[in-house]
């Protein structure tokens, strides 16, 4: 069940929109920002509020990589796996993160602190390799920089 706050925020995003489904991502973000991820129950509640089917909303939710349909850690690491990042050392960065956190892409650390997810592009190809932790972008990565970055989130 949506909270009163979530419902009010979603309804505010629907103001002035010709079709409710155009606000699907915004509505899902409201719930995700509140709960950390979108459960089946939450998706159904949002779909009902938007007057669309849960299947329609799920197709939107699963298309966008920044909508999480399963629980994630307190901090989500989005590691860019674009061609530029691959060329500039993505493999070593991914391997180091995996070893340091004890996880592979798509997994959450045992302590629930970090989830590591690949993302197609972060748009900073000239400063590759890159990643984001939560909404913070980090570029020109090295293993030393990764240690500094991870310390900020402990």
Confidence of residue 16 (pLDDT cuts 50, 70, 90): confident
pLDDT recorded at residue 70? 94
CA dist 61 and 115 (Å) reads 18
Does the pLDDT at position 132 exceed 90?
yes
**What are the chain's domains?**
4-63 (1.10.10.1590), 75-152 (3.40.30.10)
pLDDT recorded at residue 53? 96
Contact 1, 39 (CB under 8 A): no
Confidence of residue 18 (pLDDT cuts 50, 70, 90): confident
Contact 36, 72 (CB under 8 A): yes
Sign of the dihedral through C-alpha 71, 76, 80, 86: negative
pLDDT recorded at residue 20? 82
pTM assigned to the model: 0.84
pLDDT (tens digit per residue) in 113-126: 999 999 999 999 99
């Amino acid at each position: 069940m949506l909270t009163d706050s979530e419902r009010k925020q979603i309804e505010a995003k629907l103001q002035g929109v010709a079709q409710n489904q155009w606000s699907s991502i915004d509505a899902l973000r409201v719930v995700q920002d509140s709960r950390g991820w979108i459960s089946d129950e939450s998706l159904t509640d949002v779909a009902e509020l938007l007057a669309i089917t849960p299947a329609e909303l799920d197709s939107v939710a699963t298309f966008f990589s920044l909508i999480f349909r399963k629980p994630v850690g307190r901090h989500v690491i989005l590691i860019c796996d674009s061609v530029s990042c691959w060329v500039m050392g993505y493999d070593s960065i991914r391997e180091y993160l995996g070893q340091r956190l004890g996880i592979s892409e798509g997994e959450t650390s045992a302590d629930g602190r970090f989830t590591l997810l690949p993302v197609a592009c972060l748009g900073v190809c000239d400063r590759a390799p890159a990643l984001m932790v939560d909404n913070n972008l980090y570029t020109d990565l090295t293993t030393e920089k990764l240690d500094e970055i991870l310390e900020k989130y402990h």
